[in-house]
């Protein structure tokens, strides 16, 4: 079976032809880098991932994690590649080398991580999750906290987490009951119980740094009274050495549908002694600080779903090329006709092209967000920076929710291509589907992302940010109209884009009317519609580039470029009309889901 994770030719296309990452070499931050270095980093990531990480994927799933007396052991096969990942400095690629990073653009980091994280998310997440913890400390910590924690978190020497969820609160963070009492020495004593904590305890690092949401004793109710604290597993002395164990204990691990090798733990703070923590930032500002990490985490979850989909699609393509079954339709009545690869059958080709369109559209979408981050750090024009920040804020819930949904859908379609074999553990697509499903649930369910999009993001700056987003699509439409052979596709996307604006305005008005609940019943369908239009945008953008290069391309590239045009044609002519029908439903906004009584759902 071929060892596949991601499509290098397509990565290079997005990186160098669509996003044009080389434009950042003109900025001082990256002036010592060049294209060859970018290509080498991605190549080395690919080699390391295939050789060291990918072999642990199925084995880690079978072995899972083991909990015993407050300690957790990860699969034995994880220890060597984890050590090599830290030694190779793969944990914080886009951060400054002074704090343990590699100082490369976000878009190049995304390309490398397609292989690293795509080979085995459960394994690599132990090494990389501390990056989010370190970023919060970099942005909001004291100089002493930065010196004590940042580099060891960025380099993966110490692990990181996020202790947010509680059993009685769930997504209602304001209902949390974990408390913090200030001590005379300026530290805080924390007491509480947290659940669903990724990497809360494991045996890969000597220390784990836990950011913990808690309410200072006597603090305001709701989210306004929440603070955030740095709680080390092992207390860190002022000189950076490790002291005594802190009273933060793992009380159990969850048995899950997928990502079996990823620890999902329950954590108890202060149940057997004193759990000490350091205030991060100011009291009562915990939610603001946490959301810096949460927004990055939501983008990472969309990326996680996409890389599962990428691998599943490539496995399905390879299987379809090799699996012989049935006669070609042109020879269906000829009993002596030989069996053909199933990729010859029309319905299989349709499924594969559906997967291809979504995988490539998601890749471009995610790299586009990375491109916005790079501009934020490099651009000198403050208006350009503001535009990029606005687009990132608007599109974050769409990346998270849409990629989670379509990523899982691609994995399911891959199983369908395999047929009965896809439903067995003999082939990897079964595990990919199980592992992918969590992405629509954690870091804020997809329904919450849709509510965020409708309730907050669409109205940013009185709707000007959303209009600027529509204008970005309009730029691609204008380019495609000037490209031979793409005028019809451009016209169809233009109509869909205009309609998206109409639907957004109508839904926004409904949300401000007495029909508020009706509007939010259609928040998820609207996010799905917006995601479809973005896919069409990305694919038409790709087709425009391909069409402009195809005549002067080498033979091997002609096939690739022709595929880009056909993929855009398939999506815009086959899937986008369905999206238009969804728009009709949102515009009609049937109140049935709100008006039906709870008893009518049955089950009583």
Give the tokens for residue 176: 């949390």
Asked if residue 197 lies in contact with residue 248, where contact means CB atoms within 8 angstroms, the answer is no
> DSSP string covering 418-433, please?
HGGGGGSTTSTHHHHH
Containing H/E element for 36? helix 35-48
Hey, how many other C-beta atoms are within 10 angstroms of the C-beta on 580? Answer: 16
Give the CA distances from residue 385 to residues 346, 356, 392, 446, in Å, rounded to whole numbers and listed in that order: 46, 32, 11, 28
The set of catalytic residues is 443
Task: Give φ, ψ of 492 to 5 degrees.
Answer: -65, -40
Give the CA distances from residue 193 to residues 196, 208, 217, 287, in Å, rounded to whole numbers and listed in that order: 11, 17, 16, 18
The crossing angle, in degrees rounded to 10, of helices 56-63 and 121-128 is: 90
> 């033979």: which residue's tokens?
555
Hey, how many other C-beta atoms are within 10 angstroms of the C-beta on 11? Answer: 20
Give the CA distances from residue 208 to residues 23, 84, 91, 129, 136, in Å, rounded to whole numbers and listed in that order: 38, 19, 15, 10, 15
> DSSP string covering 98-145, please?
GGT-----HHHHHHHHHHHHHH-HHHHHHHHTHHHHHHHHHHHS-HHH
The number of angstroms, rounded, from the C-alpha of 581 to the middle of its chain's C-alpha atoms is 28
Asked if residue 270 lies in contact with residue 251, where contact means CB atoms within 8 angstroms, the answer is no
Three-state secondary-structure class, residue 188: strand
């Amino acid at each position: 079976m071929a060892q596949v994770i991601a499509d290098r030719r397509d990565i290079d296309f997005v990186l160098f032809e669509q996003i044009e990452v080389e434009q950042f070499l003109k900025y001082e931050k990256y002036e010592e880098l060049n294209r060859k270095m970018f290509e080498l980093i991605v190549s080395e990531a690919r080699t390391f991932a295939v050789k060291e990480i990918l072999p642990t994927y199925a084995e880690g799933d079978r072995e899972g994690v083991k909990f015993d007396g407050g300690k957790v052991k990860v699969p034995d096969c994880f220890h060597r590649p984890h050590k090599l990942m830290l030694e190779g400095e793969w944990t914080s690629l886009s951060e400054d080398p002074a704090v343990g990073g590699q100082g490369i653009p976000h878009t190049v980091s995304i390309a490398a991580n397609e292989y690293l994280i795509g080979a085995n998310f459960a394994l690599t997440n132990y090494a990389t999750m501390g990056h989010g913890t370190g970023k919060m400390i970099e942005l909001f910590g004291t100089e002493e906290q930065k010196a004590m924690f940042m580099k060891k978190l960025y380099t993966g020497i110490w692990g990181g987490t996020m202790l947010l969820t509680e059993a009685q609160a769930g997504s209602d963070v304001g209902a949390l009951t974990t408390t913090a009492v200030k001590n005379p020495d300026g530290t805080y004593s924390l007491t509480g119980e947290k659940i669903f904590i990724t990497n809360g305890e494991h045996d890969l690092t000597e220390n784990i740094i836990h950011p913990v949401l808690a309410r200072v004793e006597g603090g305001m109710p709701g989210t306004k009274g929440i603070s955030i604290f740095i709680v080390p597993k092992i207390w860190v002395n002022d000189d950076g050495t490790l002291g005594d164990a802190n009273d933060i204990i793992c009380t159990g691990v969850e048995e899950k549908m997928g990502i079996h090798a990823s620890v999902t733990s329950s954590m108890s703070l202060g149940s057997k002694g004193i759990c000490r923590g350091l205030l991060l930032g100011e009291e009562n500002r915990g939610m603001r600080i946490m959301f810096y990490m949460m927004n990055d985490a939501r983008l990472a979850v969309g990326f996680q779903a996409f890389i599962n989909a990428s691998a599943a699609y490539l496995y399905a393509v390879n299987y379809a090329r090799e699996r012989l079954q049935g006669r070609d339709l042109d020879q269906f009545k000829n009993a002596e006709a030989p069996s053909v690869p199933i990729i010859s059958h029309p319905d299989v080709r349709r499924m594969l092209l559906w997967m291809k369109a979504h995988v490539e559209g998601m890749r471009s979408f995610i790299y586009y967000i990375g491109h916005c981050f790079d501009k934020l750090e490099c651009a000198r024009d403050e208006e350009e920076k503001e535009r990029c920040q606005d687009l990132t804020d608007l599109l974050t819930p769409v990346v998270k929710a849409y990629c989670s949904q379509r990523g899982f859908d691609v994995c399911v379609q891959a199983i369908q291509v395999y047929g009965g074999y896809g439903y067995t553990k003999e082939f990897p697509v079964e595990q990919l589907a199980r592992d992918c499903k969590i992405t629509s649930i954690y870091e804020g369910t997809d329904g919450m992302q849709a509510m965020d999009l409708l309730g907050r993001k669409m109205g940013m700056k009185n709707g000007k940010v959303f209009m600027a987003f529509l204008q970005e699509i309009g730029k691609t439409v204008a380019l495609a109209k000037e490209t031979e052979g793409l005028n019809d596709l451009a016209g169809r996307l233009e109509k869909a884009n205009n309609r998206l604006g109409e639907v957004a305005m109508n839904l926004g008005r409904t949300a401000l009317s007495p029909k508020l609940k009706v509007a939010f019943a259609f928040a998820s369908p609207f996010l799905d519609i917006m995601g479809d239009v973005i896919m069409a945008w990305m694919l038409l953008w790709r087709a425009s580039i391909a069409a402009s290069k195809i005549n002067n391309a080498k033979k091997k590239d002609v096939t690739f470029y022709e595929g880009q045009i056909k993929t855009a044609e398939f999506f815009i002519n086959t899937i986008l009309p369905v999206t238009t029908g969804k728009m009709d439903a949102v515009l009609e906004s049937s109140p049935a889901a709100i008006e039906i009584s709870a008893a009518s759902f049955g089950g009583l």
